[in-house]
Structure 1
C-alpha cells in the first residue's frame, strides 16, 4: 500500500457511503480481531461441488484439497473482522464465499498481522492474501517503499474494489485538521504496513522545523482506534470504508468524526504468488463471474462499499 503523491478522489459520495455503512452496522455486532488463528472461523460455506462452473480452472492440488488458504488481518471492519461469536464476517469473507461456490472450494481465512501477509505467501503458509490490500507497483515488484530496494519477488494482484484513505479524529475535537499537511505538529495513529503509514511518512518529510508529525504505528486498526479514543493521538488514518465504519459504529457514533476528503483512490487486490498464475487466473475468473451475475453488487451494498465497485476484475491494475 505505497503511495507518495496525493490525489483527491472524484465525486465520492461520502455521506451516502457512510449512511450505507450505518445500515450494515445495524445488522451486525462488531468484534475486535485477535492475532491468533481461529480454526472455527471459516469464511466460506461453499464446499466442493461438482457443479461449480469454474472448478476446472484451479490448480489440481488446490482442487484436490478443496481449500484456498487465505491470509488476512481480521480486525478491519467492515472489510474483515470477527463478530461476537468469533465468526469471520465482512466484505472480503462474503466475496470469498461467493467465489468458493464458483470454484467448488472453501476459502479459509487465517488471522495474521497485515505487514506479514505477503511473507506468508512467500513461505506458502497462505495461497492468497485478501485483506483490503492496496495493489501498487511496490508490492507487485517486491520493493520496500522506505528504501526503494527490492526485498522479495513481489506478487500479482486480482483487483476487485477501489478505495481511498481518510483521516478521522475524536468527535468534536478535530484539532483543525482537514488535510494531511494539517497533521504537522500532531500525533497520528495508523496500522503498520498500510498506505496510511506510507502517506504519513511522506507527509512527515514535508513538515517545517518545530512541527514534527509523530507517527504511532500499530499491528492492527483496532489498536489505532483505541489509542485515538483514549486521547493518545490527535487523529488516525485508515482506508475510507474502515474509517467511515468506525465513525458510524464506535460508541454508537459518538466517538469519532471524519475530517477532510479521502485521498489516494486505488484498487484493492487479492495477492497471489507470481509463481501461481493458474490460481491467479482462477480467482480473477471467479470475481468476474460475481460481477456479471450481480452477486458482487449485492455483497458490496450489504457492507456499504458500493461506491468502490468496479465493472471488471483486472490483474495488477495498481500504479
Structure 2
C-alpha cells in the first residue's frame, strides 16, 4: 500500500543506506507462505469473534453510531497488509484489524480501495473516517491527521535472485530503484540517497527512482529486470520474496523501524475510541491472532499510542 512516509536516514559515505521506514502497498496473493520475519501466512486461519464493548461503543460520536459503519480507505496493493485476493476481495492484516476495531465499537467496517496518496486527503474531505494502509506515523503526517499506532515496521530492499548486478546495500548510487509513488522510500531517494551520491562524486539514482502507483508494479519491475532494486516496508519485502517463487532475494538488513498509524481527522472525536479499541484488541489477544494469521507478528506492539511518531 504505498509510500508510507517517514523521515529517512540514509547516511552518506558512498550513500550508505540506513533507510527510514516507509508506508507502501505491496504485491498480493492469498496463498499460504512463510515470511522472513514471522510465521507462515495462513489467510484461512480463524480469529476469535470480536463483540462490541459497551464502554468503548459509548465513545463513538452519535452520527457515526447512528450510521453503524466506519468507512476505511486502504490501498489494496500492499500484501500482506492490504491486497485483493483471487476473488477481488480486499484482505490482509490491516483489513482484519479494521474489522476488529469496528466490531469493538459496535460498528461495521467498510474497507474501500483507494490510491495511497488519496487517502489522507479523503479523510480531510470526510470521505473516509479511517485510513489503514500501512501508513508510517511521522511528525509530518501528524500535522495533518491524528495517528493511532498499531504496528512497527522497517524499510527493506530486494534484488533479483543471486544479485546478478552485485549491488551493495551500502551503495545505491547510480542504481535503478523501483519504489511506490508517495512512499517514504521515494522520499529517501530524493532527500537522502541522491544528495549523498552527489556529495560523494557518484552518479545519482536515475529519475530519482522509478515510481509506480501500485506496489505490485514495483515488484514486477525488479522481477522483469526493468529495475535493479526495490525498496518497501519490511513486511512487504518479506512477503514478496515468497510470492514471487524465489525470483527475488533480500538485500541487506531491515533498517529504521518505526510505527504504523491508523489515520483519522485531526482532533476527531473518534480518535479516543479507536485508540481504546486497538488497545483492547492487544490486551485480549485478538491482535496477536490477526498478526499471526498474516505472518507479521514480529511487528507487534504492546501499547497503542496517539501520535507516537519517532521522527
TM over 0.5: yes
Query: Conserved in 2, the CA contact under 8 Å of 1:53 and 1:102?
Result: no
Aligned to 2:28: none
Say which SS state the counterpart of residue 205 (structure 1) adopts. helix
Aligned to 2:260: 268
**159-168 or 51-60, which deviates more:** 51-60
Please say if 1:163 is aligned against 2:153: yes
Aligned to 1:105: 107
- Which of 16, 21, 24 is residue 41 of structure 2 equivalent to? 24
Q: Using the TM superposition, give the Cα deviation of residue 111 of structure 1 relative to its aligned residue in structure 2, in angstroms.
A: 1.1
Matches within 5 A, 1:216-227: 216-227=210-221
TM-score (norm 2): 0.84
- Which of 234, 238, 244 is residue 240 of structure 1 equivalent to? 234
- Which of 107, 124, 130 is residue 128 of structure 1 equivalent to? 130
TM-score (norm 1): 0.82
Aligned to 2:91: 89
Write out per-residue CA displacement over residues 276-303 of structure 1, whole angstroms, 9 at most, x where no aligned residue: 1x21111000000000001111111111
Q: Is there any run of 5+ residues in structure 1 with no aligned partner, and where?
A: 10-15, 29-44, 142-153
Say which SS state the counterpart of residue 251 (structure 2) adopts. strand
Matches within 5 A, 1:1-319: 1-6=5-10, 18=36, 20=38, 23-24=40-41, 27=43, 52-141=54-143, 154-173=144-163, 175-179=165-169, 181-201=170-190, 202-208=192-198, 209-214=201-206, 215-250=209-244, 252=245, 254-276=246-268, 278-318=269-309, 319=311
Q: Using the TM superposition, give the Cα deviation of residue 174 of structure 1 relative to its aligned residue in structure 2, in angstroms.
A: 5.0
Q: Distance in 2 between matches of 1:303 and 1:198?
A: 28
Query: Conserved in 2, the CA contact under 8 Å of 1:176 and 1:182?
Result: no
Write out per-residue CA displacement over residues 180-200 of structure 1, whole angstroms, 9 at most, x where no aligned residue: x42111100001111111222
Q: Distance in 2 between matches of 1:239 and 1:84?
A: 23
Q: Quote the RMSD (CA, aligned, Å).
A: 2.1
Q: Using the TM superposition, give the Cα deviation of residue 122 of structure 1 relative to its aligned residue in structure 2, in angstroms.
A: 1.1
Q: Using the TM superposition, give the Cα deviation of residue 227 of structure 1 relative to its aligned residue in structure 2, in angstroms.
A: 1.2
The structure with higher relative contact order (CA 8 Å, sep 6+) is 2
Query: Conserved in 1, the CA contact under 8 Å of 2:35 and 2:242?
Result: no
Residues 2 and 8 (structure 1), Cα distance of their counterparts in 2 relative to 1, 3 Å cut = closer
Q: Distance in 1 between matches of 2:168 and 2:285?
A: 37
Q: Distance in 1 between matches of 2:293 and 2:284?
A: 16
Residues 50 and 98 (structure 1), Cα distance of their counterparts in 2 relative to 1, 3 Å cut = closer
Say which SS state the counterpart of residue 109 (structure 1) adopts. strand
Aligned to 2:15: none
Runs of 4+ residues deviating >6 angstroms: none
Q: Distance in 2 between matches of 1:81 and 1:256?
A: 20
Write out per-residue CA displacement over residues 24-65 of structure 1, whole angstroms, 9 at most, x where no aligned residue: 16x57xxxxxxxxxxxxxxxx97xx77655211111111110
Query: Conserved in 2, the CA contact under 8 Å of 1:3 and 1:264?
Result: no
Say which SS state the counterpart of residue 182 (structure 1) adopts. coil
